[in-house]
Structure 1
Amino acid sequence: MSSTDRLRRYLTDEQGSCCEADVEERLAELESLDAGESAIESDVDVLSAFANETRYRILRLLHVANEELCVCEFAPLVDVSDSAISHALSKLTEAGLVTRRKDGKWRKYRATPRASAVIVALDGSREL
């Protein structure tokens, strides 16, 4: 059984008949919808980073603050160990959701525009 057999049967049901050109045309249409491997990988990384309560709480704090926050400012607000906060911030940085800069002996973090856009979209989706 080929990977296009079901598609061929579907097109036959929808159109009344189906030839190889119909299958190839539909495959080309469907392939044009694909975002591409690198975009999908990047998006899955972002969604994975959001899929943890500690990381999401930190992102929301940074988004609402709309300014840099020192790593020390998260501990009183996030009920996890310092190492868990550090790990969460590393994951968020790797996913491109926060920026990090060193300021003397302190590390400061800021939400990226992409992180804020996802949070805004989530906020808007709750109102639907």
Structure 2
Amino acid sequence: MRRSSPDDPSLPENGDSTLRHHTTALQRFYYASHQIAIAYDVHICEAGVPDVETRYGACPRHEGERLAAYHPSFHVPGKNHTVVITDCQFDEENLARAWMADRIRWLILSRRGQSLPPARYRRRS
């Protein structure tokens, strides 16, 4: 994980102007795609409860270039954190956003599908 400076005044990818009124500065964090579960646990979930206001987005790879590429990202308004996945890039913004939403959905479903250990390993009450 790499963290940007809190001085970054940029808004989340969807351009929601209501976020300008937050008292804390937007913080941007960078993760690799194999660290999505860590990013989910650190930024979206707090005490096992996910922030339902989380928005999926896409960050431009390099601002101002002619050939745009987008990194998948998500923004957690409660913490004012934006997480960017640096090792994936897409030609279209909507594809990056869909990829991010799909990875988080897959993570949640795989955790729900985890089965209990065999009975001999369960704690007896």
TM-score (norm 2): 0.28
TM-score (norm 1): 0.28
Q: When you count strand as a share of all residues, which structure comes out higher?
A: 2
Q: Which has the higher contact order (CA 8 A, sep 6+)?
A: 2
Q: When you count helix as a share of all residues, which structure comes out higher?
A: 1
